Structure 1
Amino acid sequence: MTPRPTGPELPRIHAALSAFHRRQAARVVEFPGGFAALDDRYTHSRGNNHLLVDGSTDPEALPERAEELLGHLPYRLVYVIDDEVAAACRGPLERAGYTHAAIYLMRHTGPVPAHGGARHVGLEELRAPASEAWHRFVPGISDEQVHHLVERRAARLGAAEDVRFLAVYTEDGEVASWADLYLDPTAGVARIEDLVTAEKHLGQGHAGRVVDTALHLAAEAGCDLRFLSANKAKWPHRWYGRKGFAVVDTVHCFEKA
């Protein structure tokens, strides 16, 4: 079982997740126990077109609900935040052809690092390196798909009170590593996401500098709760552990292509 933090931290993280998906959506469709976050500008982006279940819902109705709300897309994606709700939904969704994956929510529990030297950059500065990275991550991906996945950052500018895209540069002026930082000082919560390092700059400490900068800026903004998400099945969550992050919960992801 995933360890949980004491006190009010976990509800704050869950609230931040729901708010993130609502704020960046072009339109939101409510249903009992959750909502659909949709954006027709980026139909190739699962991060912009999905269901998020953040309360009690009817598990048997969920597959049909996904068809109704996501039927215009070539995929169906459903996030379920609560473990017990996810356990109830798993059977109906798997019978409908969905596969399950677990995403760790990891809270920073270590000391706040010094500023790592990453800069606050704009969309245009990340466009080329992010496009190259997507072609590396998904061989055979189309130019249209890459365009949606790169340009969706424009929607993410509205996903928090203060959104910053951070990047570390090489001495030659190339973008080496980058990430998104979402700050909500009113709630005291910060989220770090989409940490990427350009292939030729891997293993040189650039990602660590980006994370250090993000954590430093979050603390500076008064965000005492700092977290990120990481796929349970992949290695980065172990690297984050060495950077002072600890698993505090699991979000359940159900997908059908």
Structure 2
Amino acid sequence: MTSAAPDAELRRIHDSVSGFHRRQADRVVDFPGGFAALDDRYTHSRGNNHVLVDGSTDPEALPARAEELLGHLPYRLVYVVDGEVAAACRGPLERAGYTHAATYLMRHTGRVPAHAGARQVDLEELRAPASEAWRRFVPGVSDEEVHHLVERRLARLGAADDVRFLAAYTEDGEVASWADLYLDPAAGVARIEDLVTAEAHLGRGHAGRVLDTALHLAAEAGCDLRFLSANEGNWPHRWYGRKGFTVVDTLHCFERV
């Protein structure tokens, strides 16, 4: 499930990761080696308020820089793209109270599946099932937090040239599973994120239908490089491996709460 990727391929993935965070941000604050992506509309969303290091930076200065840029938030989140840079930053960040987690970047290396019947939807169709899912994932989450985590999809419409929300439905017309598809045909890169299945419909193949549809649409759009991210500590990355994805790199995440 793990393989070495050519440097040019990794650069395309890294550029896509950086672009994804830059493009959906309400405002960006650059610094040597990275930037802060910020959005005051969704302050409860770590995905919309964080620091991302995508170049060479001063490791010792990073904790203070994150404090300056994220000090208005109840959390601090720092992503580091390059493994060597992450290793250099780990000590200073951990001494400042951060914990480390790894997120796999996984490229699809299997055959392109047939269209599996999921269809493009808008936020209105996803609002109720996504809200229910967040309450399942984060017990005790407040209504305001759920609102931010669901409505942030509006910002994500700007995260790529072509953004599609996909969903698979049950025979009774309920949304069973959904995901985001980010297409940049000019770069030939597609990213699939936030694949979720409603609790009542787990284990019935709905997520596979969404994923297969996303992969098919990405290939149809001319994206030869198709990837997603998966938390190292959770099980889905093994399922993605069975669906033709291979780990090609690791995105390092440092968080303090």
Deviations 1:142-192 (A, max 9, x none): 000000000000000000000000000001000000000000000000000
- Kindly state the Cα deviation for residue 39 of structure 1 after the two structures are TM-superposed: 0.1
Deviations 1:118-149 (A, max 9, x none): 01000000000000000000000000000000
- Kindly state the Cα deviation for residue 3 of structure 1 after the two structures are TM-superposed: 3.7
Contact 1:60 / 1:92 at 8 angstroms: preserved in 2? Answer: yes
Equivalent residue, structure 1, for 2:141: 141
Amino acid paired to 1:61: A
Give the whole-Å Cα distance in 2 for the aligned partners of 1:220 and 1:5. Answer: 23
- Kindly state the Cα deviation for residue 4 of structure 1 after the two structures are TM-superposed: 2.3
Give the whole-Å Cα distance in 2 for the aligned partners of 1:17 and 1:133. Answer: 25
Give the whole-Å Cα distance in 2 for the aligned partners of 1:14 and 1:4. Answer: 15
Give the whole-Å Cα distance in 2 for the aligned partners of 1:143 and 1:242. Answer: 36
Query: Are 1:198 and 2:198 counterparts?
Result: yes
Equivalent residue, structure 1, for 2:222: 222
Structure 1's consecutive aligned runs of 4 or more residues displaced over 3 angstroms after TM superposition are none
Residue identity over aligned pairs, in percent, reads 85
Contact 2:162 / 2:183 at 8 angstroms: preserved in 1? Answer: yes
Deviations 1:9-55 (A, max 9, x none): 11000000000000000000000000000000000000000000000
SS where residue 200 of structure 2 aligns?
Answer: helix
- Kindly state the Cα deviation for residue 6 of structure 1 after the two structures are TM-superposed: 2.2
Gaps of 5+ in 2: none
- Kindly state the Cα deviation for residue 7 of structure 1 after the two structures are TM-superposed: 5.1
Equivalent residue, structure 2, for 1:253: 253
Give the whole-Å Cα distance in 2 for the aligned partners of 1:3 and 1:255. Answer: 27
Give the whole-Å Cα distance in 2 for the aligned partners of 1:191 and 1:118. Answer: 17
Give the whole-Å Cα distance in 1 for the aligned partners of 2:230 and 2:4. Answer: 16
Query: How many pairs are equivalent?
Result: 256
Deviations 1:85-129 (A, max 9, x none): 000000000000000000000000000000010010000000000
Equivalent residue, structure 2, for 1:95: 95
Give the whole-Å Cα distance in 2 for the aligned partners of 1:6 and 1:87. Answer: 21
Which is worse superposed, 3-12 or 118-127?
A: 3-12
Amino acid paired to 1:53: V
Question: TM-score scaled to structure 1, two decimals?
Answer: 0.99
SS where residue 219 of structure 1 aligns?
Answer: helix
